[in-house]
Structure 1
Amino acid sequence: MRKSTIRAIIVNIVAWTIGFIWVLPFIGLFMTSVRPYSEVVLKGWWSIIGAHFTLKNYYEALFNPFYNLARGYMNSFIVAIPSTIIPVFVAALIAYAISRFSFPLKSYLFLTLVLIMAVPQQMSVIPLFFMLRDMHLLDTLQGLILVHSSWGIAWIAFLLKNYFDMLPREVEEAARVDGASDLQVFFKIVLPLSLPALASAAAIQFTWVWSDFFYALVFLISPKNYVVTQRIAFMKGQFYVDWGLLSAGSILAMLVPLILYAVLQKYFVRGMVGWTIKG
């Protein structure tokens, strides 16, 4: 047996082992979500013999008035969609300007974007709290959208700038010779060519906003405004934890990002490969 064959077998075994270890918690989460509480506690999620499967936990998580994960879903969509579209669009304009044009303090602007990326969320929460309060946006979904959008602009602009640097400029120059303005070049040439980078940036930003708990916990006070990550906290009882219900809520919460990545997988991989090559 050749060394290359042995090496390939070892690599495959290691890869499958790592993959199984990574997937195992999700298997346990799903198996727990489709079984009654008593059965999970007494037998464990791994016991399949005599198991009774049910979707009651999912129904309770979505439609029970106390948990009302469906309302959390709606609030999360209201926050996540504009918090993705706004920073991607604004960051694309900023990144294109930095990549293609010369203007005063250009290098300092780019350095500012890098420094903003290095600021921890915890350092910004107190000033943001008082800013939203003074703007009468505290405990509103609009305020949370503003916070997420402002945080997303910096890192998206940083990554898109690197991607724009990689694009050939000949097509843009030819369009300008034909009389196209800078905005026409940007919208009709650069953006279509940058679809993989835009899609991957949008997927990452959407997932980050959807999964955020810290900012939502600080800035959203009224239960009617709670997003999906906050609603899951309601499923943890004071005296006991219904693991089936909590697992069902967790599965439902991660379902949207999983679907998004499955739909945008082709663009996501192409965009990330482009950024990696440029870096």
Structure 2
Amino acid sequence: MRNLLMKVNYDGTHYDGFQTQPQGNTIQDRLEQAILHLTGEALKITASGRTDAGVHAYGQPFNFITSSQIPLERWCLALNARLPQDIVVTEAKEVPLSFHSRRGAKRKTYRYTINGNRFPDPFQRRWQHHHPLKLDIMAMQQGLAHLVGTHDYTSFASRKSTKTSHVRTIYEAYMEIDRSMCRPGSDDQGVIHTYITGSGFLQHMVRIIMGTLIQVGERKYQADKVADILAACNRAAAGPTAVAKGLALWSVEYDEDNS
């Protein structure tokens, strides 16, 4: 028996999230079907975490135990030949039988993308939240800084969260602005990428953070208000949940021997 660790990129636009659902339209369902067609094994994969409907991923790790002796170098191409074009397996390696993609994850990074230009980009429309109105990006950055550290993030968790503790650690959070598509002489703001790295994330956590920061950017309240929202430990204190399509799981880190 072998424990294989793989990474998969996917456009989540047409899927009901990563984790298997009764209707069978998830990334996990498609991956397990591809493995079944390839090896004849009806197995369950374990992912580093779940993503919501419409959320994307660049390198979502998953692992599974297999008795197949297919060489490692053949797995990616063989699975991709059996997957839809919006799901692509990019890496495959063998790891110890004890390895677990979710329990072993040490750091996760999500990226949220806002297109702040006057007009949407038709080629990126499925991966960006278009916000053509003026944003105070500096205030958004200041608000984001209040969220770094170890805190109770109840204010930024879905009301449906079933976790016994909402304490998490955000190690790093920052914004990058790509102005390459701004029109000369226009009021285009560029494409704003927000990266948030943490020990783990609650349901809708990054999207609620972004919905709150967008309100800061719209000057509906001051950047320092984010600290008060965090301290309130009350979902009603935070902003709306930002749309799913702007969010992507960016990377997951493990101990060096399994990364």
TM range (shorter): under 0.3
Greater C-alpha radius of gyration: 1
Taking structure 1 as the reference length, what is the TM-score of the superposition? 0.24
Higher strand proportion (structure 1 or 2): 2
Q: Which structure has the higher relative contact order (CA within 8 Å, separation 6+)?
A: 1
